[in-house]
Amino acid sequence: MAAKEEIETTDTAKEKKGNASSPVIKVATFIVDRRNLFFLLFIIGAIISLVTKNWVKVENSLAAYLPDTAETSRGLDLMEEQFVTYGSAKVMVMNIPYSEAERIADRIEKDPRVSMLGFDGEKEHYNNFSALYDITFIYPSDDDRALEALEDIEEGLSGYDLYVSTSLGDAQAEQIEAEMQVVSLIVAVIVLTVLIFTSQTYAEVPVLIITFLASAILSAGTNFLLGTISFVSNSVTIVLQLALSVDYAVIFCNRYKEEHKTLDIREADIIALSKAIPEIFSSCLTTVGGLVAMMFMQYGVGRDMAICLIKAISFSILSVFLLMPGLIMIFGPLMDKTKHRNFVPRINFVGRFDYATRHVVPLLFLLVVLAAMFLQNNCPYVYGYSKLVTPIKNDTQIADEMIEESFGDSNFVALMVPAGNYEKEGRMIDALLACPEVKSVTGLASTEAMDGYMLTDKLTARQLSELLDLDYEVAELLYTAYAVNDENYAKLINGLSSYSVPLIDMVMFAFEEVKEGYVTLDDDLYNDLKSANDKMQLAKDQLQGEDYSRMLVYLNLPQEGDETFAFLDRMHEIGDGYYGEGETIIAGESTSQYDLMKTFNRDNIVVSVGSVLIVLAVLLFTFMSAGMPVLLIAVIQGAIWMNFAFPTIMDTNIFFLSELIVSSIQMGANIDYAIVISGRFLELKDRMPRKEAITETLNFAFPTIVTSGSMMTLAGVFIGQLSSDGAISGVGQCIGRGTIISIVLVMFVLPQILLVGEKIIDKTSFKMSVPIKLDRGFGLVRVDGMVRGNINGTVIGEMNAVVRGEVNALVTLGKMETISEEDALKELAVKEGDVQ
């Protein structure tokens, strides 16, 4: 035993000496030997991230990510700057008689926090024994008191069959977060099951799980550095991070187990890490390349999600390189004790099938791809949620559907025009009302104040006194003060009898004069004036700003569609006729979806072409062949077209964002499956018959594909089936379906293409033959590493052997040295002892 330990010590010393010349080995050795330092850094980082995770700001509006030049963005900015949007809600009470509906309306209207209540006997507010109350609160929509007031109203009506639709609060965001927590839990169980099934030792599973959890926590905790992220990124990044990056940990773990067959735990850990670093980097380049294409989108959600995922993948790589080696040192002995049989079966039948159909399948694939490309071009994309059907519905969606079923859909847009001319606004409102597409228009010029007068109607002092039951002398005094304040001195000289002022301006001016003590009124008249002033102030806050006036145009059109988008253009034409070209701005759901459609047309081309070019560049340098990248991309691009041909075939609307995000992820991530098969086939095709080579290739690649592919597929499926949000659900469904299609193609189509296109690959190779320095040895030579050269014949592969004879070869990621006969006998004795 002592002799054996002495031999091992001698060999280890020699190995260290040989490896000292390799920078990668030096780095790997440092990481393994300084593992406690990295444990400490990751623990500190995780603790900080668990705190900072709560600092992340989430944007729940997709419209917020439109370009600044988009009309929706300009409109939203203008409304935030110029107008006050008060908190509002639609409350529907079902199964009540009209008398009870009136009593409820009286109760709601008496709430001092309610500024306006829309309810009458018309069908718009009472239908099929259901009452609909349009409630506007005295607080702005971002004031928590508005939500509290609504919750109090709901509590007071808790005994009724009640449905509430509102944008107040973050109820929908909270529901989405709860749904994704369930999805994450299910995916965690799936990951654990898949890892146990595909592992060779039970103890490697906690190593992989801890590595991923560390990267997920760090990724989530650093999102606050991005300022604000979209709810889509916040919801699916962790799940997609697992699906996209689990390969890295599996690659390193498999490398370690391979090296551990001949080396102890520490040495195997170091050598495995040194070999895994370049392998993992090359694997992640295609994934990151596909995501980078999303960063060139005009629509900011793509850039936001790309940054989040690239950051997540970066933390995954850091966890694999810096944390996992230390975990292997801890769990290594337990991994040796918990080995189990391989549960992943060999799939020789697939190889035999692929070889037998090599002349048929490529032609069929070409026909299917052409059909898929045509169908994909006709995919029924939508740009809002109104036409989407999700597998499950949240409370908000259920309430909206119930209200729509009883009272119809309400679609309106906010039309903003330069302020200052009530007459022009009135004429424009009349022009809009003349259009059959317009149901109604709410603006200062179309809002009735009292006794048939509109807010902007001009009244003389006599008319105002009669309207408000005000002494004419008082009215005349008010008009005089108004003329002075307005610097309209001509009216003072020529008389006030014909001087007319818009009703809203005069009432609000009169209230200020009374409040300042310049005019005295009895209590009843003062209360009436105050009530009128408060309502007019509420209307003015919402409909008139310092520079712009706002009109709410209610449409007889759906939120999106060609007819709706065409009428938005028509509204601009009407506005241009009154205010000049480009002076009118329209904001609303319809405008947002129109802008999304415009950005999609450009972004779809950018993402598709960009992801293909970036991945193509990576593959060119990976395979050093022009033909191989084209063949691989053709397969994955075909899978993408097939994926988005399904909505056309099933006549199912699909949210446009699914195409932009999933096509990048599918190109960047699923291409790895094709790379694994292609790379292995190129290694084997010159060493054995092609039938055996393709069979062995598929057996080699299947465990990797089934591990990563099943995780991504199931993660996508569960996101798609358990999310009530149309954008998140669509992304999940397309990822799940797309991954399945990609797996089928790389297993049942790509091998045939490689077999048929082998000559094309060889002829388009541009590997350059450059002079290289070969290691030479004579006599007894120990060879340990990746070898390419002549050893009594040509050898390409990894070796760990003693050669008697002449060696003339290039050795990478290892070493070669001449040893003595005595050392050779000692090494043989050690190996025989290990076998025994």
Q: Which tokens in the block code for residue 820?
A: 């003595």
Residue 468 has pLDDT above 90, yes or no: no
Per-residue confidence band for 3, with pLDDT thresholds at 50, 70 and 90: very low
H-helix or E-strand spanning residue 297: none
Given a contact cutoff of 8 angstroms between Cβ atoms, the answer to whether 360 and 707 are in contact is no
Judged against a pLDDT cut of 50, whether residue 19 lies above it is answered with no
What is the C-alpha separation between 286 and 277, in angstroms, rounded?
15
pLDDT, position 612: 83
pLDDT tens, residue by residue, 424-452: 999 999 999 999 999 889 888 888 887 77
pLDDT at 565 over 90: yes
Q: Tell me the average pLDDT across 371-387.
A: 89
**Mean pLDDT, residues 687-708:** 87
**Which of 15-19, 562-566, 613-617, 687-691 shows the lowest per-residue confidence on average (mean pLDDT)?**
15-19
Q: Give yes or no for a contact between 600 and 383, defined as CB atoms under 8 angstroms apart.
A: yes
Estimate to the nearest angstrom the gap between the alpha carbon of 518 and the chain centroid. 60
CA distance 815 to 818: 10
Give Rg (Cα) of the chain: 36
Rounded CA-CA distance 525/536 in Å is 16
Res 798: pLDDT = 61
Q: What pLDDT score was predicted for residue 22?
A: 72
Q: What is the pLDDT of residue 686?
A: 80
* d(C-alpha 364, C-alpha 581), whole Å: 54
Distance of CA 257 to the CA centre of its chain: 36
Q: Is the pLDDT of residue 12 over 50?
A: no
Which comes out higher in pLDDT, residue 518 or 15? 518
- The answer to whether residues 203 and 341 touch, using CB atoms and an 8 Å cutoff, is no
d(CA 533, CA 486): 19
Q: By 3-state DSSP, what share of the chain in percent is helix, strand and coil, each rounded to 5?
A: 65, 15, 20
Please tell me the least confidently modeled range out of 122-131, 211-220, 358-367. Answer: 122-131
Q: How many CA atoms lie within 13 A of 272 on its CB side?
A: 31
User: Using 50, 70 and 90 to split pLDDT, how confident is the model at 409?
Assistant: confident
| Distance, CA of 501 to CA of 456 (rounded, Å) | 9
Cα separation, 130 vs 133, in Å, equals 10
Which phi and psi (to 5°) does residue 738 adopt?
-65, -40
Q: What would the pLDDT profile of 303-337 be if each residue is shown by its tens digit? A: 898 899 899 989 999 999 999 999 999 999 999 99
Which pTM does this prediction carry? Answer: 0.76
Q: Evaluate if residue 732 carries a pLDDT over 50.
A: yes
**Partners of 418 in the β-ladder:** 548
d(CA 660, CA 609): 12
What is the per-residue pLDDT across 784-836, written as a single tens digit (0 to 9) for each? Answer: 655 555 555 445 556 666 666 666 655 555 666 666 667 666 666 655 555 44
* Average pLDDT of the residues in 536-540: 86
CA separation (Å) from 310 to 141, 237, 492, 621, 668? 35, 10, 71, 21, 12
pLDDT digits (tens, 9 = 90+) for 223-270: 989 888 988 888 778 777 876 677 788 888 888 988 898 889 999 999
DSSP code, position 195: H
The reported pLDDT for the residue numbered 760 is: 83
Q: Give the range among 17-31, 224-238, 289-303, 681-695 with minimum mean pLDDT.
A: 17-31
Q: Give the rounded percent of residues in the chain with a pLDDT score beyond 70.
A: 88
C-alpha 593: how far from chain center? 18
Helix (H) or strand (E) holding 254: helix 231-259
pLDDT for res 5:
41
479 pLDDT band, cuts 50/70/90, is confident
β-pairing, 654-655 vs 381-382, is parallel
Where residue 36 falls among pLDDT bands split at 50, 70, 90?
very high
Compute the average pLDDT of residues 487-498: 65
At 222, list the tokens.
Answer: 């650093």
Q: What percent of the chain has pLDDT over 90?
A: 27
d(CA 449, CA 455): 5
- For residue 609, give the 3-state DSSP assignment: helix
Two tokens at 283? Answer: 């694997």
Between residues 703 and 219, the one the model is more confident about: 219
pLDDT attached to residue 331 = 94
Give backbone dihedrals phi and psi of 362, rounded to 5 degrees, phi first.
-60, -35
Question: How far is 510 from 533, CA to CA, in rounded Å?
Answer: 9
732: Cβ–Cβ under 8 A, 6 or more apart, which residues? 236, 715, 716, 717, 718, 719, 720, 721, 723
Strands 228-230 and 57-59: parallel
Q: Is the pLDDT reported for residue 37 higher than 90?
A: yes
Contact between 817 and 791 under an 8 Å Cβ cutoff? The reply is: no
How many C-beta neighbours within 10 Å does residue 473 have? 10
Q: pLDDT at residue 774 above 70?
A: no
Q: How far apart (Å, rounded) are the C-alpha atoms in residues 319 and 246?
A: 11
What pLDDT score was predicted for residue 11?
A: 43
Query: What is the average pLDDT score of the chain?
Result: 83
What 8-state DSSP symbol labels residue 346?
P
Q: How confident is the model at residue 629 (pLDDT cuts 50, 70, 90)?
A: confident
Start-to-end C-alpha separation, the chain: 14
User: Could you tell me the two tokens for 4?
Assistant: 């054996």
Task: Please say if the pLDDT value at position 775 is more than 80.
Answer: no
